[in-house]
Amino acid sequence: MNLMQGNYGHQHSVLAGQGRLFAERVCRYHLGGPGNNGKENLHDRITKLDAAVQPDLHQLRKYGNRADHDEMDDIQPKEKPDIVHCVFRVACRILQGAHLQADLSRMGAEKEQHVQAEQVKGEFQRLGFGTEVTPALLTSLTEFGVDTADELAELEVEDLVKCGMRPLKARQMWQAMHS
């Protein structure tokens, strides 16, 4: 968007060319390098993207073609706002998708942490120390780098105490894990 704003005062063809370049970059970002080893045209690449961004990307492609080809109509001053709006709408849609992807990744990480915490909690219960498990202890263990029963077994008595276990119970649990 900064590039579009910076070029807004330039010739119409510059703005249209930047719009087409933006469409090409969107395709490269989502589809990788040049399609079919450079043999696939921009139109075909755009049709592989999310249907919500296709109309604006096609419009940017057409504006760029008009700016570059003599036999086509020149870009008119009244079309400048539409070029910028097309870029803006596509950029917003891409950002929405990126935010959604980040949210899904975060949710997946939280679910994985929950599963790991349940595994550690299950190890406490298996050893007969289920009553010692508190949310604070599980959080401390996670912060200490304990995500699995095997990592729990690597802790020393002092480590268990640092994570919040009572000293006597920590020693008893350590002995249960190593017997």
Instruction: Give the model's pLDDT for residue 109.
Output: 73
Instruction: Give the model's pLDDT for residue 162.
Output: 92
Structure tokens given for 126: 């298996």
Instruction: Give the model's pLDDT for residue 7.
Output: 54
Check pLDDT > 80 for residue 12: no
Structure tokens given for 107: 């949710």
Residue with the bigger pLDDT between 172 and 120: it is 172
Give the model confidence (pLDDT) of 19-41 as tens digits.
Answer: 999 999 999 888 887 766 667 89
Query: Considering the entire predicted model, what is its pTM?
Result: 0.54
Residue 6 confidence class, pLDDT cut points 50, 70, 90: low
Give residue limits of the domains in the chain: 2-105, 127-177
Instruction: Give the model's pLDDT for residue 133.
Output: 86
Compute the distance between CA of residue 160 and CA of residue 169 in angstroms, rounded to an integer.
9
List the one residue out of 34, 28, 64 whose CA is nearest residue 49. 28
Rounded mean pLDDT of 158-166?
91
Phi, psi angle pair for 114, to nearest 5°: -65, -45
Give the model confidence (pLDDT) of 100-151 as tens digits.
Answer: 777 777 787 777 777 777 888 888 888 898 888 888 888 888 888 888 888 8
Give the model confidence (pLDDT) of 39-94 as tens digits.
Answer: 789 999 999 998 999 999 999 999 999 988 878 888 888 898 999 999 999 998 88
- Name, in order, each residue with C-beta under 8 angstroms of 82's C-beta and a sequence gap of 6 or more: 59
